[in-house]
């Protein structure tokens, strides 16, 4: 029995030595998102600044290739401004669309190690699990000499599909620090499916055709724990 355990432990060590142990990445940062929806009334749209934070797991296969997955909590949405001129006044609407998702990526990564540094490029599919959606609007009606201002918040979660699918691509820059490495990861996400449910959005008077896009940057620390654990296992046997 001990011989079998020893053989299994040796095989595990060989796999780790050949491919590199798994790593845990912990990080967070900012993202700037927008939506590709269309409106019958001209609207000035700008990207919305938000956040991202999560965990990722990386498995190396040799020096130059690795596979990543994990999860991160991220914001989506955009800022909108609409101006309508009437004969006797003007209506100005400023709206902030704030949506939250749990993103689950599956990325293939090509790595180029150079001394204590490692430069990488990655790409792959990504799935978003919907969490919440709100619109915050400030409406200003200018009827000279009077100015009327109103504010409201609308929860439109019931109009949103539970899952969002897209692709992501980016780069990674790492520098060795202690038992792991400090990393910086800029990237881009492009949604491939409409985030609004067609039937429910139409009933609510919204345009169901809309997809997420996002530019993000994440900084954090990567812990390389697999190789050391496997060697400890070998010593026990």
Q: Is residue 218 part of a domain?
A: yes
The band of 1, judged by pLDDT with boundaries at 50, 70 and 90, is low
N- to C-terminal Cα separation, the chain? 11
Top pLDDT among 38 and 183 is at: 183
Task: Give the range of the structural domain holding residue 53, as residue numbers without chain letter.
Answer: 2-75+101-129+160-236
> If pLDDT is split at 50, 70 and 90, which confidence band does 23 have?
very high
Evaluate if residue 53 carries a pLDDT over 50. yes
Whether 151 is covered by a domain: the verdict is no
pLDDT at 146: 84
Chain segment 90-114, per-residue pLDDT in tens: 888 899 999 999 999 999 999 999 9
What does residue 3 show for φ and ψ, rounded to 5 degrees? -65, -40
Residue 33 in any domain: the answer is yes
Per-residue confidence (pLDDT) for residue 70, from 0 to 100: 96
Query: 29 in a domain, yes or no?
Result: yes
Strand partners, 133: 99
Domain CATH code at residue 180: 2.40.160.20
Residue 36: band (very low, low, confident or very high) from pLDDT cuts 50, 70, 90: confident
Position 75 scores a pLDDT of 96
Distance, CA of 135 to CA of 148 (rounded, Å): 20
| CA 221 to chain CA centroid, nearest Å | 17
What pLDDT score does 41 carry? Answer: 62
**pLDDT for res 147:** 86
91 domain residue, yes or no: no
Using 50, 70 and 90 to split pLDDT, how confident is the model at 237?
A: very low
Give Cβ neighbours of residue 158 (< 8 Å, ≥ 6 apart). 200
pTM of the model: 0.81
Higher pLDDT, 71 or 86: 71
Structure-block tokens of residue 191: 């949604």
pLDDT of residue 39: 60
**222 is written with which tokens?**
């990567």
> Under a CB-based contact definition with an 8 Å cutoff, are residues 212 and 33 in contact?
yes
The tally of domains found in the chain comes to 1
Helix (H, G, I), strand (E, B) or coil at 184: strand
Residue 54 within a domain: yes
Residue 44 vs residue 98, higher pLDDT: 98
* Residue 68 in this model has a pLDDT that exceeds 80: yes
The secondary element (H helix, E strand) that includes residue 6 is helix 2-19
- Residue 135 falls within a domain, yes or no? no
Q: What pLDDT does residue 14 have?
A: 43
* pLDDT of the residue at 206: 67
- Residue 172 inside a domain? The answer is yes
pLDDT given for residue 235 in this prediction: 41
Asked if 89 and 40 count as a contact pair (C-beta separation under 8 A), the reply is no
Cis peptide before 114 (omega within 30 of 0): no
């Amino acid at each position: 029995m001990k011989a079998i355990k020893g053989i299994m432990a040796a095989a595990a060590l060989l796999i780790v030595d050949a491919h590199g142990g798994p790593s845990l990445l912990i990080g967070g940062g900012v993202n700037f998102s927008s939506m590709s929806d269309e409106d019958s009334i001209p609207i000035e749209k700008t990207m919305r600044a938000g956040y991202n934070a999560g965990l990722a797991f990386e498995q190396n296969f040799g020096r130059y290739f690795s596979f990543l997955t994990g999860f991160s909590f991220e914001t989506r949405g955009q800022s909108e401004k609409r101006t309508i001129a009437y004969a006797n006044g003007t209506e100005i609407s400023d709206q902030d669309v704030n949506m939250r998702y749990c993103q689950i990526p599956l990325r293939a990564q090509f790595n180029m190690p150079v001394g204590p540094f490692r430069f990488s490029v990655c790409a792959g599919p990504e799935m978003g699990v919907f969490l919440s959606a709100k619109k915050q609007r400030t409406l200003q009606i200018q009827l000279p000499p009077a100015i009327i201002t109103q504010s409201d918040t609308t929860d439109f979660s019931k109009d949103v599909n539970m899952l969002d699918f897209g692709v992501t691509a980016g780069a990674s820059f790492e520098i060795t620090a202690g038992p792991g490495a400090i990393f910086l990861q800029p990237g881009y996400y492009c949604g491939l499916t409409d985030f609004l449910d067609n039937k429910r959005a139409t009933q609510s008077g919204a345009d169901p055709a809309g997809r997420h896009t996002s530019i993000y940057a994440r900084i954090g620390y990567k812990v390389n724990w697999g190789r050391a654990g496997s060697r400890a296992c070998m010593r026990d046997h």
